[in-house]
Structure 1
Amino acid sequence: MRTEISNATTLMEFVLLGFSDVPNLRWILFGIFLLMYLTILMCNSIIILITKVNSTLQVPMYFFLRNFSFLEICYVTVTIPRMLMDLCTQKGNISILACATQMCFVLMLGGTECLLLTAMAYDRYVAICHPLRYALIMNHKLCVQLVAASWSCGIPVVIGQTCQIFSLPFCGSNRIHHFFCDIPPVLKLACGDTLENEIAVYVVAVVFVTVPFLLIIVSYGRIITNILKMPLVRGRAKAFSTCSSHLTVVVLFYGTASITYLQPKPSQSEGIVKLTSLFYTILIPTLNPIIYTLRNQDIMFAVKKLLTKFET
Structure 2
Amino acid sequence: MATRRQPLNLRGLMPGLFAATLLCAVALAAFLALWFSAPGAGWQSVFSDSYLWHVVRFSFWQASLSALISVGPAIFLARALYRRRFPGRTLLLRLCAMTLILPVLVAVFGILSVYGRQGWLASLFNALGWQWEFSPYGLQGILLAHVFFNMPMATRLLLQALENIPGEQRQIAAQLGMRGYAFFRLVEWPWLRRHIPAVAALIFMLCFASFATVLSLGGGPKATTIELAIYQALSFDYDPARAAMLALIQMLCCCCSRRCWRSSSTGSTVICWTCWRSQRSGRH
Does TM-score exceed 0.5, indicating one fold?
no
TM-score calculated relative to the size of structure 1: 0.29
TM-score with structure 2 setting the length: 0.31
* Structure of greater Rg: 2
